[in-house]
Structure 1
């Protein structure tokens, strides 16, 4: 993960330089804000990858002397069919409609969206 951390650090540095240059020469606060947010997102991913590298060290895929057997075993848990993504999509649509039609629909949408997100998060909590 060290290589990925370095790559995302480079992406974050690019967005930081671009945001500074754009803020200096352009009179557009929306574009500057978007570039700053892109910098923050890339920096967050770079920070996460650097922390994971410090905690776990090199993965077998990163070492030149690694054997294929070292990467054998279960990779991830893939959940079966779930209805929660549909609930999240429905909640998102109702929230978007609530922005147009009124606060009452927006609050209902946030309720459905919250239910769907919590359902997705805790669906396999006892696994």
Structure 2
């Protein structure tokens, strides 16, 4: 995360310098405000990466001599088949059509969508027992 913090710190510095030059040259408040907001956003991201680096230390990606296996973690459970994703997609499509054609179709689509999402969430709820 150290490299990312330096990268976004450089982006923040660029926007800071650019905002100063732009404010002095153009005297236009909208562009100056946009550049200041860009500086603040890049600074927040740089701060986030810096704090994560201080808390967790370096990662295998930060070491150029590290191997791929150092970053690999445990594999999780992935279901082979499920009818709920297509069911959810149909529900989303019918819900979108309901926005165009009327509340009755929207409510039907929302019911299908809610059932599909609920099925995906609770499909394997008892798997570990």
TM-score of the aligned structures, taking structure 1 as reference length: 0.57
For residues 31 and 54 of structure 1, the distance between their equivalents in structure 2, rounded to whole angstroms, comes to 35
Matching of residues 1-127 of structure 1 within 5 Å: 1-74=1-74
For residues 64 and 47 of structure 2, the distance between their equivalents in structure 1, rounded to whole angstroms, comes to 25
Q: Which runs of 4+ in 1 moved over 6 A?
A: none
Q: Deviation per CA, 1:40-98: give whole Å up to 9, x if none.
A: 0000000000111111111111113323221112589xxx9578xx7xxx8xxxxxxxx
Larger of the two Rg values belongs to structure: 2
CA RMSD of aligned residues (A): 3.4
For residues 73 and 7 of structure 1, the distance between their equivalents in structure 2, rounded to whole angstroms, comes to 27
In the comparison of the two structures, how many residue pairs are matched?
A: 89
Quick check: 5-14 or 60-69, which moved more?
Answer: 60-69
Which sections of structure 1, spanning at least 5 residues, go unmatched? 91-122
Which sections of structure 2, spanning at least 5 residues, go unmatched? 77-83, 97-120
